[in-house]
Amino acid sequence: MDTLLSLINGFGVAFEPAKLMFCLIGVFLGTAVGVLPGIGPALTVALLLPVTFKLDPAGSLIMFAGIYYGGMYGGSTTAILLNAPGESASLATALEGSKMAKAGRGGPALATSAIGSFVAGLIATIGLAFLAPLLVELAVKFGPWDYFALMIVAFVTVSATFGDSPLRGLTSLFIGIALGLIGIDKLTGQARLTFGVPELLNGVEVTTLAVGLFAVGEAFYVASKRFRDPEEIIPIKGSLWMTKEDWKRSWAPWLRGTAFGFPIGALPAGGAEVPTFLSYSTERKLCKYPDEFGKGAIEGVAGPEAANNASAAGTLVPLLTLGLPTSATAAIMLAGFQQYGLNPGPLLFAEKPDLVWGLIASLFIANVMLVILNLPLIGLWVRLLAIPQPWLYAGILVFATMGTLAVNGSPVELGMLFLFGFMGYLMRRYDYPVAPMVVGLILGPMAEAQLRRALQISLGDPMILLENPISATLLGIAFLALVAPFVMKGLNRFKAAED
């Protein structure tokens, strides 16, 4: 009851005109930068920090939160329309989203992602307000072994992105994992696979690989078969909005995505990627139209987008309740708190309830503003696809270059973008799936680091993975997911033999 009262008070703060203004500026900025690949909410907030330190703390924190939520909405736009996932969390959205966009269903794809983000944001923010203390307890309980087990679950489900050949899918995945080895080893600081090139020490940037393989690779591929088999992009086919059928197919993925995103996002090392992958593969398994997956199934957009947004709200749980920053954006927001001498944590709730609850209330408002801002924009965005193809693809390459340079302005990085682009072309040509490679690059280093941390704590004893209930359960799930298809096949064969 206390929580409810505090929240109502919070709304009182958040509805002050000045606060609403800050919120609006925040969501607007967030959407704008979210659309640009390479420039995420973390960077934007970082750049704004020095400018805002003379402003009212509550106001600028509300603005930062607006940017954070806005960035999550904006990120899906480029992933769907241009097949250029601007951040690793939009990767899963790009898989089905871009297929939908090409088939003239960009409108519904954007709509389901906006409304899904809204639903997920709403539920997750309610969760943030009411469940935070509970979740935090769980979050702190998660040890390196548990994270490792979670990554294994994600790895096992990745096979959903393999396409029709396990060999080619695995090849793609392993190259991704190998690329993930490049750079400084997180646990010992040793350089691996850098061959004396200092630019490689920081490793392969996920966005560079994703944009290279997806956007640049596709530009090459489309150009190469222009005469023989010209690609057709249909800006709008059928309704610009979601049909009844779309709604029916979206609502459950939204909820399931939220269920993955919010708790995993609340884990200190959970991140936004793992829940989006899990959501994608779950939707693929549960979808009533499995044939549509890979060709633009709306469930594959609705689920991951909801997961992505819910995880964003999830990261605010440890940030506000413990002062634990668990993502780049959260770390910068923490710096934002600290520049006003505020330390997020249990004390802050007691000392500055107006500020904290005002912030949480304004997250609800930001969410509403975002959906109002984004839905009318859909019509405009979809028109982008009506640009003549040469200009569209030239623009995509300009965009990809800009994103890469904004993060790291070195020719080596551009060289990698080009290389990955060409690799993406060859992979398309010989029907290798590109998504597993990016997944390998994201999950490989995370899994390795967590496993090694676990073994360092246990002094090399691998039993630690099975002795802990959470990790043992997760590994059990992974094992089941791995063998279930074979067992089912065997059973079917057995049944067939009996008949």
Residues numbered 102 to 131 that lie near other proteins (CB under 8 A) are: none
Say whether 419 sits in a helix, a strand or coil.
Answer: helix
Helix (H, G, I), strand (E, B) or coil at 105: strand
Query: Using an 8 Å Cβ cutoff, are 120 and 258 in contact?
Result: yes
Q: Which of 4, 18, 21, 347 binds other proteins (CB under 8 A)?
A: 347
Applying CB under 8 A, among 24, 170, 236, 470 the residue interacting with other proteins is 170
Return d(Cα 116, Cα 310) in angstroms, integer: 10
CA distance 15 to 125: 17
Q: Does the protein bind other proteins through residue 352 (CB under 8 A)?
A: no
Among 324, 333, 363, 385, binds other proteins (CB under 8 A): 324
186 binds other proteins (CB under 8 A): yes
322 binds other proteins (CB under 8 A): yes
Site string for other proteins, 218-257 (x = CB under 8 A): -xx-xxxxxxxx----------------------------
Indicate the SS3 state at residue 1.
coil
Segment 291 to 320, residues that bind other proteins, using CB under 8 A: 318
Q: Does 393 bind other proteins (CB under 8 A)?
A: yes
Stretch binding other proteins (CB under 8 A), from 77-85, 244-252, 326-334, 483-491: 326-334
Residues 353-392 that bind other proteins (CB under 8 A): 388-391
Say if CB 319 and CB 344 are below 8 A apart.
yes
Exactly one of 236, 414, 477, 482 binds other proteins (CB under 8 A); that residue is 414
Least distance (Å) between residue 342 CB and other proteins: 9
For 95, the enclosing helix (H) or strand (E) is helix 91-102
- Choosing from 1, 2, 190, 244, the residue that interacts with other proteins (CB under 8 A) is 190
Provide the minimum distance between the beta carbon of 347 and other proteins in the complex, in angstroms, as a whole number.
5
CB of 123 to other proteins, least distance (A): 24
* Rounded CA Rg of the chain: 22
* Residue 158 CB, nearest approach to other proteins (Å): 14
Indicate the helix (H) or strand (E) that contains 482.
helix 469-498
DSSP, residue by residue, 186-245: TTT--EES-TT-GGGGG---HHHHHHIIIIIHHHHHHHHTTTTS-----SB-S-SS--HH
Count other Cβ atoms within 10 Å, centred on residue 258: 28
Binding segment for other proteins (CB under 8 A), chosen from 101-109, 377-385, 393-401, 476-484, is: 393-401
In the complex, the smallest distance separating the C-beta of residue 164 from other proteins, rounded to whole angstroms, is 8
Candidates 68-76, 293-301, 373-381, 443-451 — which segment interacts with other proteins by CB under 8 A? 443-451
For residue 237, the minimal CB distance to other proteins (Å) is 22
Buried/exposed 221-246: b ≥16 CB within 10 Å, e otherwise? bbeeeeeeeeeebebeeeebebeeeb
Query: How is residue 39 annotated by DSSP?
Result: -
Site size with other proteins, rule: CB under 8 A: 115
**Residue 185 identity (one-letter amino acid):** D
- From 152-160, 362-370, 404-412, 470-478, give the range in contact with other proteins by CB under 8 A: 404-412
Which one of 21, 134, 201, 488 is in contact with other proteins (CB under 8 A)? 201
Give the residue, chosen from 59, 261, 314, 323, that forms a contact with other proteins under the rule CB under 8 A. Answer: 323
Rounded Cα distance, 302 and 287, in Å: 12
Task: For residue 184, give the 3-state DSSP assignment.
Answer: strand
Which candidate, 447, 116, 172, places its Cα nearest to that of 310? Answer: 116
Q: Which amino acid is at 2?
A: D
Distance, CA of 149 to CA of 475 (rounded, Å) = 5
Q: Give the residue, chosen from 55, 192, 247, 352, that forms a contact with other proteins under the rule CB under 8 A.
A: 192
Q: Which amino acid is at 64?
A: F
- x/- letters, 449..468, toward other proteins (CB under 8 A): x-xxxxxxxxxx--------
Question: Which string of x and - marks every residue 259-278 that binds other proteins (by CB under 8 A)?
Answer: ---------xx---------
- Is 134 an interacting residue with respect to other proteins (CB under 8 A)? no
For residue 372, the minimal CB distance to other proteins (Å) is 24
CA torsion angle 247 292 276 92 (round to 10): -120
Burial of 441 (0-12, 13-18, 19+ CB in 10 A): buried
Which of residues 133, 238, 290, 395 is near other proteins by CB under 8 A? 395
| Dihedrals phi, psi of 191, to nearest 5 degrees | -80, 130
Nearer to other proteins among residue 197 and residue 286 (C-beta)? 197
- Give least dist CB 467 to other proteins, A: 13
Residues from 26 through 85 that contact other proteins (CB under 8 A)? 39, 42-47, 49-50, 53
Find tokens 């519904």 and name the residue. 108
Stretch that binds other proteins, among 76-84, 328-336, 378-386, 478-486 (CB under 8 A): 328-336
| Residue (60 or 76) nearer to other proteins, CB | 60
For other proteins, the closer of residues 21 and 457 by Cβ is: 457
Selected binder of other proteins within 85, 296, 325, 436 (CB under 8 A)? 325
Q: What 3-state class would DSSP assign to 183?
A: strand
